[in-house]
Amino acid sequence: MPEGLALFAQALVGFLTPAQLFNVLWATLLGISVGMLPGLTATLGIALMTTLTFKMAAGDAILILICMYVGAIYGGSRSAILLNIPGTPANAATTLDGHPLARSGRAGRAMGLATSGSVLGSVVGILMLATIAPVLADFALAFGAFEFFWLAVFGIVIAGHLTALRDPLKGWIAGFLGLLVAMIGQEGIHAYQRFSFGYLDLAGGVGLLPALIGAFGFAEVLMVMTDPSYQVVRGKVESVIPKLRELFRYWRSIIRSGLIGTLMGLIPGVGEDMGAWASYAAARRASKERDRFGKGSTEGLLAAEAGNNAAVPGAIIPVLTLAVPGSAPAAVLLAAMFIHGVRPGPLIMIEFPSFVYEVVAMVLLATLAILVLGLLLTKPLLLVLRVPRERLMPVIFVLCTIGAFAIASRTFDIWVMLLFGVLGYALRRMDYPMAPLVLGIVLGDILDKSLRRGLVLSDGDPTPFFTRPISLVLWLVTFITVLLSFGAIRRLMTRLLAGKRE
Amino acid sequence: MTPARMAKADFVTAVILIAVGAGALVESWRMPRLEHLSVNPYTVPGIVPGLLSGVLILLGAVLLARAVRQGGWRLDAASLSSAVGGRLVLMLLLTLGYAAGLVGRLPFWAATFLFVFLFVLLFEWRAGRPPAGHLKSAAIALVLAVAVAAGVSALFQHVFLVRLP
């Protein structure tokens, strides 16, 4: 631990140069603006920013991407409060209490609370990132082919379940579709070109970034432009400086939300949206003012915003230690790390021990930036929400097109972006979640290689996949999740448990 | 989306998923087994895509069964055509026309200028609006189109050193 502290201090001091601080400020400000605009998500922001920073030094580029990530997840609270439209999906729970506060003329206070909730939740997440990541990396050294195979299946099933709670079947379809898409192109053991049908471009596989820019950029542009109820902000707001007394009063709720948010971030592919919802639900259950929830509760707003921002460092934990993303934006961050030559995974504490603490310092700087910018630049930031969609969306689409192209200078990547955009739009209209699809594309290669390597190691015997301790836990949880999603089995279990209690 | 329309959409999606899954399964089966290289049979390229195709067919079948139970198989021409609105058609024409048609054929700045100008002009057009309003929209469209075409081209070409399409 003292060694970790020293590495963290060293990393932090390293970032305290005028140039890096300037990068922190503009990237976080851009992130907040992207997050505020309905239709522009953290995933798209990071994906586009990756295409703009891929010629920079690794440390600078990843610092900018993390600032964009933290800023966007926080920025979405502004439109949630002022327009009742979550700026990013992670801020959906914020609308429940944030917008009623704004409607009763307390928009400024709501924005101040959202800022403090986000900052405090993020601080809890950062502490967890600094303590859990090294331990998890150490633990992950015990992962072999069998464990990685189940981790991939576990990630898809759990992410599919939690991101589509009303209809998990659609979450799983999205996830397995992503895995199948990942099979396109040259495979990693015999270099055979799968599903390429003789086309050289397909042999290279479907790039994650063009697919993401399509599914989160073009699809969102289509969603926003076809939405009949898009609004822009009118009117003014009062002071946003929060009262410390109010924050102290709900310290339990804030810490609880920070912990739940981080945990939700840690689970592959689940991320910020569930971080906010789960924290909000837990806060309501534990609250003495339960009836205020949904009508402008301070505690509810703090819980939702602490939960989603804590999920950011939470989602970075598996990125660093297992090379498995905790959420869709974290998937882009993972891809960006690979582009910049950092190899996250179980060996990170051996190969790049200081990198984990550099990331901790980066998230901390981004968090301090949202505190400063969020409280000081309220009025100028509102200008962003006054731009009509007819003028903003064509600019975003031009950036999606050139962004998809810029990574490898391939026209094929523009087609991938377009295909995933149209597909993503159709799937979203039919309530399919996007996060499992992205996770599938990322985890496809791991699943493919791990299953085949595992079978070679066991000479075709599937037993070790089910009996090794970590594998056993992973497949059991996966299996139970699938079983419990069947209505009949869930009802039977509830009846059995109720019978026992009587 | 109403439950009845969702059931119809699910029905169509399920049929497509099963067809894609079946196609991928056949293709996986046809992938080489590499016997002549005497590779370990558990590492042949078709194993994982084959398994994934099987899972996709299974999930598609569950969705199909559910959609049929909810009456989703009763498709009619009206339900199919109402899925695509006028704004969506215009959006697809503009975006696909730009990214898959103009980009690569015209210089990037010219394609971008045309796209942004037409986009703003068409989406801000309202029937029955006084001519002055249309003129203002056209002026804004022109300024924005010039700024985006010049700004994005210069940024990518000279700052990020990307060869434009």
Instruction: Assess whether pLDDT exceeds 90 at residue B36.
Output: no
Instruction: Give the pLDDT of residue A73.
Output: 96
What interface predicted TM-score (ipTM) does this complex get?
A: 0.93
Residue of chain A with shortest Cα separation from B124: A390
Answer whether B42 sits within 8 Å of A460, measured CB to CB.
yes
Instruction: Give the pLDDT of residue B57.
Output: 97
Nearby residues of A100 by Cβ (< 8 Å), 6 or more positions away: A294, A295, A296
* Alpha-carbon span A434 to A438, nearest angstrom: 6
Summarize the confidence of residues A199-226 as an average pLDDT: 89
Answer whether B120 sits within 8 Å of A390, measured CB to CB.
yes
Say yes or no: B76 and B124 in one domain: no
Instruction: Assess whether pLDDT exceeds 60 at residue A424.
Output: yes
When divided into structural domains, chain B yields a total of 2
A311-334 pLDDT per residue, tens: 999 999 999 999 999 999 999 999
Contact A169/B at CB under 8 A = yes
- Tell me which residue range forms the domain holding B112: 86-159
Instruction: Give the pLDDT of residue A502.
Output: 57
Say yes or no: B95 and B67 in one domain: no
Instruction: Give the pLDDT of residue A286.
Output: 92
* Alpha-carbon span A400 to A213, nearest angstrom: 6
Report chain B residues whose CB lies below 8 A from the CB of A177.
17, 56
Place A150 in a pLDDT band, splitting at 50, 70 and 90: very high
Say yes or no: B150 and B94 in one domain: yes
The better pLDDT of the pair B24, A224 is held by B24
Summarize the confidence of residues A297-322 as an average pLDDT: 95
Instruction: Give the pLDDT of residue A207.
Output: 87
Instruction: Give the pLDDT of residue A229.
Output: 66
Answer whether A447 sits within 8 Å of B49, measured CB to CB.
no
Q: Best mutation site among B52, B88, B124, B155 for testing chain A: the one with the most A CBs within 10 Å?
A: B52
Domain-terminating residue out of B81, B108, B124: B81
Instruction: Assess whether pLDDT exceeds 70 at residue A170.
Output: yes
Contact B48/A at CB under 8 A = yes
Place B68 in a pLDDT band, splitting at 50, 70 and 90: very high
- Residue among A466, A423, A172, A434 at smallest CA distance from B58: A172
Residue B165 lies in a domain: no
Place A37 in a pLDDT band, splitting at 50, 70 and 90: confident
DSSP-derived secondary structure letter, A297 = -
- Residue among A79, A393, A414, A395 at smallest CA distance from A222: A393
Instruction: Give the pLDDT of residue A317.
Output: 95
Touching A: B residues 4-43, CB under 8 Å? 6, 9-10, 13, 17, 20, 24, 27-28, 31-32, 34, 37, 39-43
Place B82 in a pLDDT band, splitting at 50, 70 and 90: low
Answer whether A226 sits within 8 Å of B120, measured CB to CB.
no
Instruction: Assess whether pLDDT exceeds 70 at residue B83.
Output: no
The better pLDDT of the pair A38, A211 is held by A211
- Residue among A209, A207, A227, A228 at smallest CA distance from A217: A209
* Alpha-carbon span A103 to A120, nearest angstrom: 25
* Range of weakest confidence among A191-200, A382-391, A440-449, A487-496: A487-496
Instruction: Assess whether pLDDT exceeds 90 at residue A500.
Output: no
- Give kind and range of the element (H or E) at residue A186: strand A185-186
Summarize the confidence of residues B134-146 as an average pLDDT: 93
Domain-terminating residue out of B39, B57, B81: B81
Summarize the confidence of residues A188-210 as an average pLDDT: 89
* Cβ-based burial of A460 (10 A; exposed 0-12, middle 13-18, buried ≥19): exposed
* Range of weakest confidence among A210-224, A483-497, B100-114, B123-137: A483-497
Selecting from B103, B144, B148 the residue whose C-beta is nearest the C-beta of A414 gives B103
SS3 per-residue string spanning A1-25: CHHHHHHHHHHHHHHCCHHHHHHHH
A247-266 pLDDT per residue, tens: 888 999 999 999 999 999 99
User: What rounded mean pLDDT belongs to chain A?
Assistant: 90
Report chain B residues whose CB lies below 8 A from the CB of A179.
52
Instruction: Assess whether pLDDT exceeds 70 at residue B33.
Output: yes
Answer whether A418 sits within 8 Å of B99, measured CB to CB.
yes
Answer whether A452 sits within 8 Å of B47, measured CB to CB.
yes
Query: Side chain identity at B13, as an amino acid letter?
Result: T
Tell me how close the Cα of A175 comes to any Cα of chain B, in angstroms. 10
Nearby residues of A374 by Cβ (< 8 Å), 6 or more positions away: A32, A74, A111, A115, A118, A119, A240
Instruction: Assess whether pLDDT exceeds 80 at residue A240.
Output: no
The ranges assigned to domains in chain A are 2-231+240-467
* Alpha-carbon span A461 to A146, nearest angstrom: 12
Instruction: Give the pLDDT of residue A501.
Output: 58
Instruction: Assess whether pLDDT exceeds 70 at residue B79.
Output: no
Instruction: Assess whether pLDDT exceeds 70 at residue B81.
Output: no
* Alpha-carbon span A48 to A27, nearest angstrom: 12
* Cβ-based burial of A127 (10 A; exposed 0-12, middle 13-18, buried ≥19): middle
Contact A77, A305 (CB under 8 A): yes
Answer whether A190 sits within 8 Å of B164, measured CB to CB.
no
Residue of chain A with shortest Cα separation from B5: A430
Answer whether A414 sits within 8 Å of B165, measured CB to CB.
yes
Answer whether A415 sits within 8 Å of B91, measured CB to CB.
no
Backbone angles phi, psi at B160, to 5 degrees: -90, -5
- Residue among B118, B93, B152 at smallest CA distance from A401: B152
Q: Best mutation site among B12, B42, B89 for testing chain A: the one with the most A CBs within 10 Å?
A: B42
Say yes or no: B95 and B43 in one domain: no
Say yes or no: B68 and B100 in one domain: no
CA dihedral A114, A119, A124, A125 (to 10 degrees): 90
Summarize the confidence of residues A128-156 as an average pLDDT: 92
Summarize the confidence of residues B109-124 as an average pLDDT: 95
Residue B164 lies in a domain: no
A378-417 pLDDT per residue, tens: 878 888 888 888 898 999 999 999 988 987 888 999 999 9
A47-77 pLDDT per residue, tens: 989 988 888 899 999 999 999 999 999 999 9
Say yes or no: B7 and B77 in one domain: yes
Contact A188/B at CB under 8 A = no
Instruction: Give the pLDDT of residue A384.
Output: 80
Say yes or no: B69 and B92 in one domain: no
Summarize the confidence of residues A333-346 as an average pLDDT: 90
Nearby residues of A290 by Cβ (< 8 Å), 6 or more positions away: A284
The better pLDDT of the pair B67, A164 is held by B67
Instruction: Give the pLDDT of residue A313.
Output: 96
